[in-house]
Amino acid sequence: MKGLTLLTRREGTMRQDFRDYYENSHAPLGMTYFPFRKYLRNHILASSADIDFDVVMESYIDDRVDVAALNSGEVRAILDVDERRFMNQGRIRSARVEEQVLSGPPIGVAAPGTRRQMLLLGASGPTLQEDVTAWGADLASQPRVARVSLDMVQQQVSGYGGFPYAAILSLWLKDGGDAIVLPAVPKGMKLELSLLTEVCETTPEELAARYKPKAG
């Protein structure tokens, strides 16, 4: 199971402070309680329009794990306290998604400094997945694009605000430069936002070392 979550910094704080606390304190805390197979934080560097979030978090957990049960009781209380230190909990929005690599190599562990252009798409009809897949194949020919992947939203996660996008098309960039200039968006497709992000991914070795589930 893969989840996507939009997270927003606490009012009155800076995006860099949010990122520093997330990477150095909150992410390690979350790894203690959740058996992540992969865990990425896509920190936003630039966006095509004003946004009310600062990171797109991706988490991969085995389908057999009862995440709702893990995210409850004492663990939830601990995380609530920490979240209030640096984020706006009322703006958490989360969804379960299906991921597909459309072009390029399989998704491994992102190297430090990896940049990713994320194209956030609104719902536009029953052929959305086909249309986005075709557009992704076209964008794969751009010289700075190393990989194209697609996340299709399958289900909203209860207990949080509604996830406002139907799909995210990701262009994994070959260098650490700016976002590419996009060609014309195909007719009928709703491109809501283009984000330039820097990927922070925890290695499998660190995830395994930090996971210390609570007994009982």
pLDDT tens-place string over residues 40-95: 999 999 999 999 999 999 999 999 999 889 899 999 999 999 999 999 999 999 99
pLDDT digits 0-9 by tens, 9-39? 999 999 999 999 999 999 999 999 999 999 9
Region of residue 74 (phi > 0: left; psi between -120 and 50: alpha; otherwise: beta): alpha
Joined together, the tokens standing for residue 137 give 């194949």
Residue 215: pLDDT over 70: no
pLDDT over threshold 70, residue 4: yes
For the domain with range 2-210, which CATH number is right: 3.40.50, 3.30.70, 1.25.40, 3.90.930? 3.30.70
Residue with tokens 């979550």: 5
Residue 216 has pLDDT above 50, yes or no: no
Question: What is the reported pTM?
Answer: 0.96
The answer to whether residue 173 scores a pLDDT higher than 80 is yes
What's the confidence (pLDDT) of residue 101?
98
C-alpha to C-alpha distance for 111 and 65, rounded to whole angstroms: 28
Predicted pLDDT of residue 176: 86
The pLDDT of residue 213 is 82
Torsions phi, psi of 73, nearest 5? 60, -135
Degrees, nearest 5: CA angle 160-166-168 = 100
Percent of the chain with pLDDT over 70: 99
* Residue pair 168/119 in contact by the 8 Å Cβ criterion: yes
Q: Output the CA–CA distances (angstroms, integers) from residue 27 to 20, 55, 94, 114, 189, in the order listed.
A: 10, 12, 17, 18, 35
- Going by pLDDT thresholds of 50, 70 and 90, the confidence category of residue 206 is very high
Cβ-contact 145, 84 below 8 angstroms: no
Is the pLDDT confidence value at 124 over 90? no
Q: Which two tokens stand for residue 134?
A: 């075709």
Res 188: pLDDT: 87
Buried-exposed string 178-214: b where 16+ CB fall within 10 A, e elsewhere: ebbeeeeeeeebebebbbbbbbbbbeeeebeebeeee
Q: Residue ranges per domain, the chain?
A: 2-210
Q: What is residue 166's three-state secondary structure?
A: coil
